[in-house]
Amino acid sequence: MRKDLVGHAKYILAFLVFSILGITLLFLGVAFGEEFVTAGLTSVLVSTAPLVTFVIMVFILRAESFSVSGLIGLIIGVVGLVLVIGIHNVLGGGTTVKGVLLIAGGFGLFAVNGILAPRLASGTDPIVSTTYYLGLASLILWAMAFVFESPLRTPINEDNLLSELVLGVISTASGFVGYYYILNKAGPFFSSITFYFIPVFGVVAGMLILGEKVTVSQVIGIIVVFSGVYLINREKFKKG
């Protein structure tokens, strides 16, 4: 595509921060967290990102105006997450909560990344930005893999190659290009809304592909989360 990779090198420190917050720590949190929770639950925990974005943008940076409906939406969103996770899991602790904390922490850091990106690297090309993010994160993760694991012992077969291709091209590269494009055009607050589409696809895919069971409380929880999101962003929806 003849993009100016060299010209964007002046943002290398910012890109390094983004690659750590938005990719390295995010993926590590999800990878380790999914050892303890289902794929459907993981997809719902993506909604941690817009909730964290709301808290930081409204209460810490004060970059967005406060509204009672937004605060109520935040509380409702948290309640919905509790329902999806399961009240018994929240109260009882254990491995499920451990997985939830790892994944939610990863997406919380991703939210911070989304807030910093427009400020530290404003107007950068989303394809070039994604190239730098993924490239730097790959170097970091490769180094960590050789320090803590034995990647060369991993068998190279058709299933592994196909999985890496799908995860790398469709789930990661294409997704990040779209995300940073929206981030540059609409800002972190609006961009975070897109994460609420993921739970629907994640839960449905978990049921159809992995045969995961979804409880009534989880379905109610997802609806409650969406209701909270609507309240948080109601004014923006009206303006749109």
pLDDT, one tens digit per residue, over 122-166 is 778 888 888 998 999 999 999 999 999 988 888 888 888 898 898
- H helix intervals, 5-157: 12-19, 25-33, 39-45, 48-55, 68-85, 87-92, 95-120, 126-148
Q: Residue 172 pLDDT > 90, yes or no?
A: no
Q: Residue 88 pLDDT > 80, yes or no?
A: no
Under the banding of pLDDT at 50, 70 and 90, the label for residue 201 is confident
Of 53-57, 67-71, 175-179, give the range with the top mean pLDDT: 53-57
With beta carbons less than 8 A apart as the criterion, state whether 37 and 106 touch: no
Lowest mean pLDDT among 32-36, 49-53, 97-101: 49-53
Mean pLDDT of 104-109: 94
> What separation, in Å, do the N-terminal and C-terminal C-alpha atoms of the chain show?
32
The kind and range of the H/E element at 229 are helix 216-232
pLDDT at position 102? 94
- H helix intervals, 150-215: 158-165, 175-191, 198-208
Mean pLDDT of 15-37: 93
pLDDT at position 193? 63
Under the banding of pLDDT at 50, 70 and 90, the label for residue 196 is low
Instruction: Tell me the pLDDT of the chain averaged across its residues.
Output: 83
Of residues 204 and 107, the one with the higher pLDDT is 107
Amino acid at 218: Q
